[in-house]
């Protein structure tokens, strides 16, 4: 059976914990890269990104290379996509070239679900519209697990454009699987309605003293039409800054998937604040993606 990695929802708590622990082992191994077993030797993965990316695409590349694999970075902008080739035909072309896995990002929420049955190599969701971003979900779980030694019972505030965020989408799926309490903060118009008891709307400032982590989110300007945003007002109402950091518990951490807009959803001085784990999340992105590539491509892995 082909092991696609499309949504965290297809995993049980036990399976997902195995992946978090596998990612944790890779994060230890990354301290001495020369000792990492070449689990992807002679394997080629293709990064196929129809939307911009810095962290996800580069960390997949680093992850594959750390495991001894090779990477093709397919760029739709200078490809036959410009001649009208469809997504299906593009992915089928790469499959027929013999690559071992396709890492795929697209603005459509469900395109991979629609295409998956036609493919015989693992498809990895590197960001599906505003739906899910499961590899980010795994690195976020790894970051929380490293910090607190557990996932069950943690409380996480999410603040920003939750409605259009695939990062929040995957975090909410993970929250239901692990029993993490999620507080949805930020502008009403950017908050989805929750139907789950683990996920509830809350006032940002009153939630801050209660939580173990705060996940700040970027306003997804590319998914809005005619959005007028006053940066100063938004930052005052919903931005992470020193005033809000002081309301958090000393053990609580600040997270953000990146890219962040300094001065909008997060002040300059918070990005590398001692309570921030933003760059740690990026670092963990490599270990998480090593675990996912190993899981998807190898029968026997680490």
Q: How far is the CB of 92 from ligand NCD (least distance, A)?
A: 25
Give the residue, chosen from 56, 101, 125, 207, that forms a contact with ligand NCD under the rule CB under 6 A. Answer: 56
Residue 209 CB burial class (10 angstroms; 0-12, 13-18, ≥19): exposed
- The answer to whether residue 43 forms part of the interface with ligand NCD (CB under 6 A) is no
Is 105 catalytic? The answer is yes
Is 133 catalytic? The answer is yes
160 vs 256: CA distance, rounded Å: 10
Q: How far is the CB of 35 from ligand NCD (least distance, A)?
A: 28
Question: Taking CB under 6 A as the rule, which mask of x and - marks residues 68-107 in contact with ligand NCD?
Answer: ----------------------------------------
- The answer to whether residue 166 forms part of the interface with ligand NCD (CB under 6 A) is yes
Query: Minimal CA–CA distance to 167: which of 222, 125, 203?
Result: 125
- The answer to whether residue 158 forms part of the interface with ligand NCD (CB under 6 A) is no
Question: Taking CB under 6 A as the rule, which mask of x and - marks residues 186-225 in contact with ligand NCD?
Answer: --------------------------------x-x-----
Q: How far is the CB of 244 from ligand NCD (least distance, A)?
A: 20
Give the residue, chosen from 258, 271, 275, 298, that forms a contact with ligand NCD under the rule CB under 6 A. Answer: 258
- The answer to whether residue 57 forms part of the interface with ligand NCD (CB under 6 A) is no
- The answer to whether residue 167 forms part of the interface with ligand NCD (CB under 6 A) is yes
Q: How far is the CB of 130 from ligand NCD (least distance, A)?
A: 9
Q: How far is the CB of 58 from ligand NCD (least distance, A)?
A: 10
Which listed residue (22, 56, 277, 289) is catalytic? 56
Which listed residue (14, 35, 82, 83) is catalytic? 83
Phi (first) and psi of residue 75, to 5 degrees: -115, 110
Query: Minimal CA–CA distance to 180: which of 206, 226, 147?
Result: 147
CB 131 within 8 A of CB 166: yes
- The answer to whether residue 127 forms part of the interface with ligand NCD (CB under 6 A) is yes
Which listed residue (43, 57, 131, 133) is catalytic? 133
Q: How far is the CB of 253 from ligand NCD (least distance, A)?
A: 17
Active-site amino acid positions:
55-56, 83, 105, 133
Residue ranges that bind ligand NCD, judged by CB under 6 A: 55-56, 127, 133, 136, 166-167, 218, 220, 257-258
């Amino acid at each position: 059976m082909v092991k696609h990695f499309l949504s965290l929802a297809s995993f049980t708590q036990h399976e997902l914990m195995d992946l978090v622990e596998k990612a944790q082992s890779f994060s230890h191994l990354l301290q001495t890269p020369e000792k990492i077993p070449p689990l992807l030797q002679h394997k080629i993965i293709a990064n196929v990104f129809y939307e911009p990316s810095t962290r996800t695409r580069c960390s997949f590349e680093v992850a594959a290379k750390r495991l001894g694999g090779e990477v093709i970075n397919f760029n739709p902008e200078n490809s036959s996509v410009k001649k009208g080739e469809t997504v299906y035909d593009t992915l089928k072309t790469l499959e027929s070239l013999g690559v071992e896995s396709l890492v795929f990002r697209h603005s459509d929420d469900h395109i991979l679900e629609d295409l998956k049955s036609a493919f015989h190599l693992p498809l990895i969701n590197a960001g599906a519209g505003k739906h899910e971003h499961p590899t980010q979900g795994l690195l976020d779980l790894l970051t929380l697990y490293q910090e607190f030694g557990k996932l069950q019972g943690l409380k996480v505030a999410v603040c920003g454009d939750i409605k259009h965020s695939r990062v929040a989408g995957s975090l909410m799926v993970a929250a239901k699987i692990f029993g993490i309490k999620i507080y949805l903060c930020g502008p009403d118009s950017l908050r989805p309605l929750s139907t789950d008891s683990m996920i509830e709307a809350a006032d940002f400032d009153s939630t801050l003293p209660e939580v173990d982590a705060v996940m700040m989110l970027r306003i997804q300007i590319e998914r809005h039409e005619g959005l007028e945003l006053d940066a100063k007002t938004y930052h005052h109402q919903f931005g992470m800054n020193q005033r809000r950091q002081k309301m958090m518990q000393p053990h609580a951490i600040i997270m953000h998937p990146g890219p962040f807009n300094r001065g909008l959803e997060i002040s300059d001085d918070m990005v590398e604040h001692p309570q921030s784990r933003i760059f740690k999340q990026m670092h963990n992105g490599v270990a998480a993606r090593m675990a996912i590539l190993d899981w998807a491509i190898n029968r026997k892995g680490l």
